[in-house]
Amino acid sequence: MTLTGLYVPLITPFDASGAVALDALTVLAHDVLDAGAAGLVALGTTGEPTSLSGEERREVLDALVAVCRTRRAHLLVGANSVEALHALGERPEVTAALSLVPPFLRPGGAGVLAYFAHLAKASPVPLVVYHVPYRTGQQLSADELRRLADLPGVIGIKYAAGGIDTGTVDFLADLRPGFAVLGGEDPLISPLLALGAHGAIVASAHVATTDFVQLVEHWHAGDLTRGRPLGHRLAGLSAALFAEPNPAVIKAVLHAQGRIPTAAVRLPLLAASPDAARRALGHLNELTSLPT
């Protein structure tokens, strides 16, 4: 199984009392699947999992498991410890765990490989490695990424390297069969797809979901004429949605659209500024007013 297509890492909406708005979360999940997303990501960074209680995390996961069971959609779940991975074994709807390269310690490439070999051996579900070096402090070479791809139980990578350099080009030029590269840097999804990525995990796709689905389809079909201009427009939208720490601006836009009850985030995040929300809404309105 190679993961392809668009995956949306869902926010966690909160109601006016500060509780998780599970009904709104369920509607959001159905909305993005209706728009063509291949699957969902539960408890990723966009979902503010470290700001949720254990009970809230279980409720969020229960809600998204129920949606994916009904829709027969893929479900990736953020899990970064053996204990968290073991809990996923009780949920047959889970396609894979999304597991972060160990942050802060910077154990080196050999340490990262040993870490994921250990996790994959202990995990009842396959792993998708989340590589985001500007957050973790750990860069990996193209050769180290390919060695990750060779580990049993590791089926893909969320690739969010902070840019596209010769290492990115080298890595995407020699992909292992059955190993999925999912772009995770929202403004750079189009060039990553052009270089051979199989799909994307895109928080920006809470809005303009259909456009992101079409972007993946255009590049997979080799349709440069439509893929390139759509990619440029979506990059501008993504830049506006990430102008302040994620998911604050996305939540502000969803609230302005009436799709979630509040735009609230939990500390240490702060609510989006009115200017950032207006700019993002402007980009979205401009995108939706253009002919397809």
Residues acting as catalytic residues: 130, 158
| Degrees, nearest 5: CA angle 15-21-26 | 150
The residue ranges of DSSP E strands in the chain, in sequence order, are: 5-9, 39-42, 74-78, 96-100, 127-131, 154-159, 180-183, 199-201
Distance between CA atoms of residues 291 and 19, nearest Å: 39
Cα 247 to Cα 36, 73, 178: the distances in Å are 22, 23, 31
User: Which residue from 257, 159, 242 is spatially nearest to 203, judged by alpha carbons?
Assistant: 242
Per-residue DSSP letter, 151: S
Are the CB atoms for 46 and 10 separated by under 8 Å?
yes
**3-state SS class at 143:** helix
Phi, psi (rounded to 5 degrees) for 137: 85, 5
DSSP codes, 76-130: EEE--SHHHHHHHTT-TT--EEEEEPPPSS--HHHHHHHHHHHHHHH-SS-EEEE
